[in-house]
Amino acid sequence: MADAKTLDFAYIGGLNFSMAMLVAPLTNLATRRVSVKLPMSLGIAFFCGGFLAGSFSTKIWQLYLFQGVFVGWGVGLVWVPANAIIPQWFTTKRSLANGICAAGSGIGGLIMCFSTEAMLSSLGLAWTMRITAVIIVVVLVPATVLIQPCITDDQPHQRMFDWHLVKRYQVLLLLAWSLVIMFGYITLMFSLSDYTLSIGKSQRASATVAAVLNLGCAIGRPFIGFASDRYGRIRVAGIITFACSLLVFTVWLPTMSFAALLVFAFTGGAALGIFWVAIGPLAAEVVDLRDVTSYLSLSSLTVVLPCSCKLAL
């Protein structure tokens, strides 16, 4: 696109994530008023529609709308209700269950890294986006049909917001952790492949680093969940956060070696998904189970700022 700048694509990526977080309160309202399937069905429509419409875009503002806003809404409408349901089904091993579920994004990312590169080189950007839209429908429609909330006497009463929660210092600390961890997550997840290119490596090498990062996510997240259940969710979240920060400053920033970058991608990827693995079970630790969805709305709004700005920064 002639009117596009490099910074535009960074803002579009950030807008994608921030829209996903911003739509969380409305998602909870729709879940409470109707069912979990309504927001997820709308999410599929926005998610798929964003990629389809984006494939026909000729102006940068169209990409902002379709890839930034529509796809972001789609992600939020699908992820938020599904993430809130997982803790309902488990009284023990909640973190392990969340870790297994979160590992799916790592496996999907691993597959999409190489398949997207192959499609781009052989089919071009437009058809790559259209095929991605088809994949979204094929994967998410069965998931939406099959998902069911746990019917218990402690069934959550979803609210858009429950401001009484912020009176608890534990909630404020968890919100602060969410803010900090998402700054790091966005930086690492979406900058590592660009960093590979910046040190003179090929596009293929960049895709390999991204794939190894996702492999680390897929393998690491269930182990993080298992460790959280065994040794304490708050303790493990703190240790993993510190370890990932240490890896960034001791391995990533000084390295110019592709081999070292692969090692960092795997180990960093294993620790990277701590937010997605831990946030649901951690919420269940600090608030009542019936308030988990309301807390997740607050958490989502907390991380809108880092999601919006970090890629561009």
> Are 76 and 46 contacting, i.e. CB atoms less than 8 angstroms apart?
no
Second-level CATH architecture of 6-148+163-308: Up-down Bundle (1.20)
If you write DSSP's letter for every residue of 132-181 in order, what string do you get? Answer: HHHHHHHHHHHHHHH------TT-----S--GGGGGSHHHHHHHHHHHHH
How many Cβ atoms are within 10 Å of 2's Cβ, its own excluded?
6
Q: Give 126-168 pLDDT, tens digit per residue.
A: 999 999 999 999 999 999 998 887 755 455 455 566 777 878 8
DSSP state of 5: -
Q: How far apart are CA 146 and CA 264, in angstroms?
A: 37
Among 102-106, 214-218, 263-267, top mean pLDDT goes to 263-267
Q: Give 245-290 pLDDT, tens digit per residue.
A: 888 888 888 888 888 899 999 988 888 778 877 787 788 788 877 7
Average confidence score pLDDT of the chain: 82
Buried-exposed string 128-160: b where 16+ CB fall within 10 A, e elsewhere: bbbbbbebbeeebeeebeebebeeeeeebebbb
Provide the pLDDT for residue 309.
60
Q: How far apart are the first and last CA of the chain?
A: 22
Provide the pLDDT for residue 269.
85
Residue of 123, 90, 112 lying closest to 217 (CA atoms): 112
Percent of the chain with pLDDT over 90: 13
φ, ψ of residue 23 to 5 degrees: the values are -80, -5
Provide the pLDDT for residue 136.
92
Residue of 138, 128, 95 lying closest to 235 (CA atoms): 95
Q: Give 64-96 pLDDT, tens digit per residue.
A: 899 889 999 998 899 888 877 777 787 777 778
- Average pLDDT of span 84-109: 78
